[in-house]
A and B are shown apart, each in its own frame.
Chain A
Amino acid sequence: MSDHDEPLFDDGDTGRSIASPQPSIAARVRSLVNNQPYAVLCMQGEGQPYGALVAFAFSEDLRRAVFATPVTTRKFRLLSECDRVALVIDNRLNRAGELMEIEAVTATGRSTLVDRDDSFDCWAELLVSKHPNLKSFVNARSCALFLVDIVRFFHVSSFQEVNQWIPTDQS
């Protein structure tokens, strides 16, 4: 997937793209992040990029994403050192000829470790409700929850059509 073309910036207020595709970019982003179970989490450590697959869930307003990782992993260490992350979510089936059908979203933002206070249960519940099979994993004492405060989404479709969307209160 190529995303090196300049994105079509939206107006930032309505969440609607200037290109006004139907359905809206916001709806397409929502559909993609709700329907896809896994994302590539992109991190960095002292200039070295690193990527890992994670199971994720988004808040209803799409402004926050949550995922879990054991504390012994490289992911955990990198996230502890640098909170700038991206999540790549797509609907590839890895079949020849599907290039134009693929949709992908790159969500950028800042990650924070969720303390084991009341909000932990709430975010854990959100993640487990999407991934019931991860219940014992998420609740394990050695498992950490991370929230990503989403700054913007880059939505890519039809191979090279790229839109940026910033979720707002109105969107």
Chain B
Amino acid sequence: MDSPAFDHHTHIPGTTVFDGTQAMKGYGLNKMCYSFNKAENREAFVAGEEGYMDKYGLTEAQKQACRDRNVLAMIEEGGNIYYLAKFAGIFKLSVQDVGAQQTGVTTEEFKQKLLDAGKD
């Protein structure tokens, strides 16, 4: 479903504006990730990922993105980074690990890029 009069998706390279269109698409995925605020839910997910994803009604594309731990694919399927950060936390991924994965570099290279941004 789209919100055609308010299409925010074409203007900023490498950036998905999380708006109503994305919110509709990603609701189940984000709701699952929100549940990971609680330790018992993180443990339940680790104990049985497929059943846990079914419980939140994830689409097949969302499930595959989760199985692959593929952050860009999760965003494509409507994931919001603030909730995805809780998913990443289960696997002890830092925001630099997540940044590196999305930009196709190693975590060390990603950290160096951030340090370089402060040099000029």
- On whether the two chains bind one another, the answer is no
Query: Using a CB–CB distance below 8 Å, which chain B residues touch chain A?
Result: none
